[in-house]
Chain A
Amino acid sequence: DAGVIQSPRHEVTEMGQEVTLRCKPISGHDYLFWYRQTMMRGLELLIYFNNNVPIDDSGMPEDRFSAKMPNASFSTLKIQPSEPRDSAVYFCASSLSENSPLHFGNGTRLTVT
């Protein structure tokens, strides 16, 4: 099993540009989570899906952020337009069920200049 796969590993972009982060969860996992990690705020849950359906997006900072899960094997997190304060490491994680452990990808380090 390849685990949760995120791409790209690093993204450097200029303020105002659109950024798309990608995630492939572990096959068969019903839950998918997007987290953001910064030194100041730690790990923040942005949004999570159950069976491809968004369940709670209350952690999404503002309308510039959007996430989709068009099928069970792919999810995207989009920021449009990006701002320097969006700079962080973004993690995708999946789990088999509600009580199962999360399996994390290695993250995408986003730098917005």
Chain B
Amino acid sequence: AQSVAQPEDQVNVAEGNPLTVKCTYSVSGNPYLFWYVQYPNRGLQFLLKYITGDNLVKGSYGFEAEFNKSQTSFHLKKPSALVSDSALYFCAVRDTDDKIIFGKGTRLHILP
């Protein structure tokens, strides 16, 4: 079965600094990868996805993610963090039977 791992429970970044939220995956075949964000008392919101094509994927709110096949990684990045980016971030992979499997989530704190 496909899986994703988010090695960090929490990431702290100063406002204005670049941020990275890590994700590694394990798949058989071509990976379909996603990033979602969750704000308090809300459902998850889609940020971006990688299906095929360019390794650098651009998404909502200035976020981007880099697909790295050799390192089996799909890290989420943003050049300059905002306090409003503070939230819970989930990496996800589509399984071979169309199930979407989520990582455990990484809580991002942007410090003013």
What residues make up the interface of A, taking CB atoms closer than 8 Å to B?
4, 31, 33, 35, 42-43, 45, 48, 50, 55-56, 91, 93, 98-99, 101-107
Contact = CB atoms under 8 A, between A and B. Distances in A.
B98 A106 contact: no
A99 B32 contact: yes
Which of the four size classes fits the interface of chain B? Answer: 20 to 34
Nearest to B100: A102
B97 A56 contact: yes
A43 B102 CA distance: 7
A106 B98 CA distance: 22
A103 B46 contact: yes
A6 B74 CA distance: 31
Contacts of A50: 98
B21 to A, nearest CB: 15
A56 B68 CA distance: 30
Q: Which of B32, B101, B102 has the most CB of A within 10 A?
A: B102
Given A42-B104, A99-B32, A99-B51, A91 B43 contact: yes
Contact of A102 (B42, B44, B51, B103): B44
